[in-house]
Amino acid sequence: MSDTPLFTRFCERLQGPEPFITVEITPPHGASMAPILDAIEASGIPEKVSGFSVTDNPLAKLKMSAILSAIKVQQRFGKPVIATMSMRDRNKLSLQSSLLGANDFDIRLILALTGDPAKFSDQPEVKGVLERDSTLLLSIIYRLNNGVDYSGQALDPKPAPIYPFAVSNAYAKDMKQLRKRMVKKLDYGARAIITQPVFDLDDARRLLEIFEEAKERSIRQTAKEAQLILGQFPIVRARTATFIDDKVPGISVPKAIIDEMNLAAMDGVAKEQEVGFTLSKRIFDDILALHPKVHLMTHNRFELCARLIG
């Protein structure tokens, strides 16, 4: 089935040598996307990026539906949107239903996540569904792309092509285990893998090396064209750098950055933010020069995204 120009251009940009930049959006804890959409437009970033992604109740905190938010973003800006789907909140029936509905609204870039544990939720007595990890969603997408549902029954009409994305930690003590998990996601059909934030060029090089090894080990033909997208999270506060390094699994912030941010914080918030932006801009530019496939995560600080991209 031939694809629309919107997704053809997106895939060409992902595969090509030109910079490919996506920006993460967190939907509101409320019933309107309008303020977020207006902030995105005011920042000017729609003209600077290849597309967006929308999170799905991160940390199990209540937010507007990721798929419905993605529809709003894609229709407003005419840029492809990667809609996150968490296994935590859906069984295989709900997953298939959501994918088919999203397909009719041309939301066809799907980021498969296992999801943060329900115990982190801000809603009382929330329980996770979690039939399996994110590979179940990847396998469902594989079947839908072949015109059948998970049980093997033919779909009428068949959905337009769905492009599955997956995630990876950016750091692990045992990088062979990280590679093994990449291979598994590629085997289940992931067309691209987005990493957790990377703050060190040596770490970025190591990730690129093991990703190439994972592609070679994968049994799936689509793995040959799969891409690694390096996550970026600009740090402009010292306490954020320390928290991420200490508390967030799969991310490592170099001690030199933490020390420089702590010293800057001693001279006040303005100096701290100035130094933080300078460091973040340098890391962003260096990563983009090494590998021009980057995913920006900024907690909806779109002006900061625009300054980083330049």
How crowded is residue 214: how many other Cβ atoms within 10 Å of its Cβ?
24
Residue 16 neighbours by CB distance under 10 Å:
11
Task: For residues 30 and 34, give the distance between their C-alpha atoms in angstroms, rounded to a whole number.
Answer: 11
CA separation, residue 200 to residues 17, 205, 276, 295 (Å): 22, 9, 15, 15
Residue whose entry in the numeric block shows the structure tokens 């509905």: 101
Q: Could you give all domains of the chain from N- to C-terminal order, each with its CATH number?
A: 5-236+292-309 (3.20.20.220)
d(CA 275, CA 259) in angstroms, rounded, equals 11
Taking the whole predicted model, whether its pTM rises above 0.85 is answered as yes
pLDDT in tens, the chain (310 residues): 458 899 999 999 999 999 999 999 999 999 999 999 999 999 999 999 999 999 999 989 999 999 999 999 999 999 999 999 999 999 999 999 999 999 999 999 999 999 988 988 999 989 999 899 999 999 999 999 999 999 999 999 999 999 999 999 998 888 999 999 999 999 999 999 999 999 999 999 999 999 999 999 999 999 999 999 999 999 999 999 999 999 888 888 999 999 999 999 999 999 999 999 999 999 999 999 999 999 999 999 999 999 999 9
In whole angstroms, give the CA distance from residue 255 to residue 169.
Answer: 19
- Confirm if 203 and 167 have CB atoms less than 8 A apart: no
Q: Are strands 20-25 and 51-54 parallel, antiparallel or unpaired?
A: parallel
